[in-house]
């Protein structure tokens, strides 16, 4: 069977409404891309079907792609791998089992916490409680409305006037649940911790949190498909839904490392800021005073990335960001030995255009910006078990302390 037939036969994934996608015995394969021909066939596969089944799109030679394969396609995919001599490895043997084990079997308490993952409504009602509890230091911003008319919210934590502002954007990619859990954990620590280092961070900086940016996608991962990444806006040109919001910003939009195909997981969208979510946050960012540091939370891979993604050329203050990044990942590894790698996006992972941190840096003139790719390195991938929420949050918080310290030393904060 050639790859054309495989593409047509494979991976068709239709859901009737109200049904939740199951991934019983589905495998996740990691595929090494070693030459242009391999890249081409893998991209063909993505473009010829709902690209849904790539977890990591095939973007360039010498990187890997990850693909989800249904049990009745194992034989085909094996033949496909052999035909194109694609080196591959089974990363996950039964995706549904990972999903079933993601949340704890027994929920220890009814109130909001960090021992399980929460949906958007629970996160928002927790924010409402905080706003009541801390009316003098917390401000709410309903800064946007998603395609499906959900409110996109931010809260700002400020204890005094004139502070530099640090921005945390979380869950721009729907399935990266650990990001919302970590962002809310950090906000909670900031409000309640007696650790002098944390108190100092909160006294001397204003913090803006967007706990869930891709609200529609996040809701969809809870209701229907745990593996959804993109927004939920349809386009007249295709039956595939949604753009990659982290390729949709108006900075080198549609350049290298993003797709023009609506079925791709890295579809940049029909035009810059075609997605209401990315447009809303960009307008909101412009209103934030004294914004000195922008961060975007993602998973997984254990990386700390900074601009640029559209070019291998180094940003003007590349050296400083590398230095800050290095101190940060050293601090992250101290607690549990979790290894991160730091670098500019293009060199540390791959070319990717139109990301939020590149836009914040390149257009909104925020002097330093970073993307965190949290745990793990693919063992669970996006389905990080809930008992890792607190360890992940603690090491990231260690990293944040070091990041702010080094940025201050270099006079960015």
Ligand X SMILES: *[C@@H]1O[C@H](CO)[C@@H](O)[C@H](O)[C@H]1NC(C)=O
Active site residues: 373
Q: Pattern of binders to Zn ion over 27-66, x per CB under 5 A?
A: ----------------------------------------
Token pair recorded at residue 101: 């084990």
Nearer to ligand X, 149 or 287 (CB): 149
Give the x/- contact pattern for ligand X in 152-191, rule: CB under 6 A: ----------------------------------------
CA distance from start to end of the chain: 59
How many CA atoms does the CB half-sphere of 200 hold within 13 Å? 9
d(CA 14, CA 10): 12
Nearest approach in angstroms of CB 150 to ligand X is: 10
* 54/202 Cα distance (integer angstroms): 40
Residue 149 sits in the site that holds ligand X (CB under 6 A): yes
Contacts of 91 (CB under 8 A, 6+ apart): 27, 28, 29, 30, 66, 378, 379, 381
Nearer to Zn ion among residue 247 and residue 298 (C-beta): 298
* Residue among 232 and 292 whose Cβ is closer to ligand X: 232
Q: Is 148 in the site for ligand X (CB under 6 A)?
A: yes
CB of 121 to ligand X, least distance (A): 17
Instruction: Give how far the C-alpha of residue 233 lies from the chain's centroid of Cα atoms, to the nearest Å.
Output: 18
Q: Which of residues 278-307 bind Zn ion (CB under 5 A)?
A: 298
- Cβ count near 210 (within 10 Å): 28
CB closer to ligand X, 137 vs 148: 148
User: Which helix (H) or strand (E) covers residue 390, if one does?
Assistant: helix 389-409
d(CA 349, CA 217): 24
In this structure, how many other beta carbons lie within 10 angstroms of the beta carbon of residue 236?
A: 5
Distance in Å, CB of 156 to ligand X, minimum: 27
**In the complex, which residue's CB is closest to ligand X?**
149
x/- site string to ligand X, residues 220 to 259, per CB under 6 A?
A: ----------------------------------------
Q: Residue 29 or 372: which CB sits closer to Zn ion? A: 372
173 binds Zn ion (CB under 5 A): yes
- The answer to whether residue 79 forms part of the interface with ligand X (CB under 6 A) is no
Closest CA to 241 of 259, 221, 264, 257: 264
Least distance from Zn ion to the Cβ atom of residue 298, Å: 3
Q: Which does 136 bind (CB under 5 to 8 A by kind): Zn ion, ligand X, none?
A: none
Q: Which long-range contacts (CB under 8 A, 24 or more apart) does 322-327 make?
A: 323/406, 323/410, 324/368, 324/370, 324/403, 324/406, 324/407, 324/410, 324/412, 325/370, 327/402, 327/403, 327/405, 327/406
How far is it, in rounded angstroms, from Cα 376 to Cα 188?
Answer: 23
**In the complex, what is the shortest distance from the CB of residue 71 to ligand X, in angstroms, rounded to a whole number?**
35
Residues binding ligand X (CB under 6 A): 148-149
Residues binding Zn ion (CB under 5 A): 173, 298
């Amino acid at each position: 069977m050639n790859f054309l037939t495989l593409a047509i036969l494979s991976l068709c994934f239709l859901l009737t409404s109200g049904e939740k996608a199951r991934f019983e015995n589905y495998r996740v394969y990691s595929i090494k891309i070693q030459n242009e021909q391999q890249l081409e066939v893998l991209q063909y596969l993505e473009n010829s079907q709902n690209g849904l089944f790539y977890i990591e799109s095939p973007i360039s030679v010498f990187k890997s792609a990850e693909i989800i394969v249904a049990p009745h396609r194992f034989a085909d995919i094996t033949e496909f791998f052999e035909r194109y001599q694609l080196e591959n490895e089974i990363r996950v043997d039964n995706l549904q089992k990972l999903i079933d084990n993601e949340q704890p079997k027994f929920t220890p308490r009814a109130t909001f916490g960090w021992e399980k993952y929460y949906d958007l409504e629970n996160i928002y009602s927790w924010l409402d409680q905080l706003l009541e509890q801390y009316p003098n230091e917390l401000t709410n911003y309903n800064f946007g409305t998603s395609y499906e008319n959900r409110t996109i919210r931010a809260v700002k934590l400020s204890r005094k006037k004139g502070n530099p502002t640090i921005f945390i954007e979380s869950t721009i990619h729907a399935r990266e649940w650990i990001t919302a859990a970590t962002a809310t954990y950090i906000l909670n620590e900031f409000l309640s911790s007696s650790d002098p280092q944390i108190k100092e961070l909160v006294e001397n900086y204003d913090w803006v949190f967007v706990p869930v940016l891709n609200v529609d996608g996040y809701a969809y991962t809870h209701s229907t498909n745990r593996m959804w990444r993109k927004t939920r806006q349809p386009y007249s040109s295709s039956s595939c839904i949604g753009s990659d919001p982290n390729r949709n910003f108006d900075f080198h939009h549609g350049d290298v490392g993003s797709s023009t195909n609506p079925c791709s997981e890295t579809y940049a969208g029909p035009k810059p800021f075609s997605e209401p979510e990315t447009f809303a946050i960009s307008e909101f960012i412009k209103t934030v005073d004294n914004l000195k540091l922008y961060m975007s939370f993602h998973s997984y891979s254990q990386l700390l990335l900074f601009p640029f993604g559209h070019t291998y050329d180094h940003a003007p203050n590349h050296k400083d960001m590398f230095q800050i990044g290095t101190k940060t990942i050293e601090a992250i590894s101290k607690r549990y030995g979790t290894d991160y790698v730091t670098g500019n996006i293009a060199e540390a992972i791959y070319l990717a255009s139109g990301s939020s941190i590149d836009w914040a840096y390149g257009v909104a003139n925020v002097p330093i910006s970073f993307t965190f790719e949290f745990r793990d390195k693919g063992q669970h991938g996006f389905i990080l078990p809930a008992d890792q929420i607190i360890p992940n949050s603690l090491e990231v918080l260690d990293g944040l302390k070091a990041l702010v310290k080094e940025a201050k030393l270099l006079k960015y904060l």
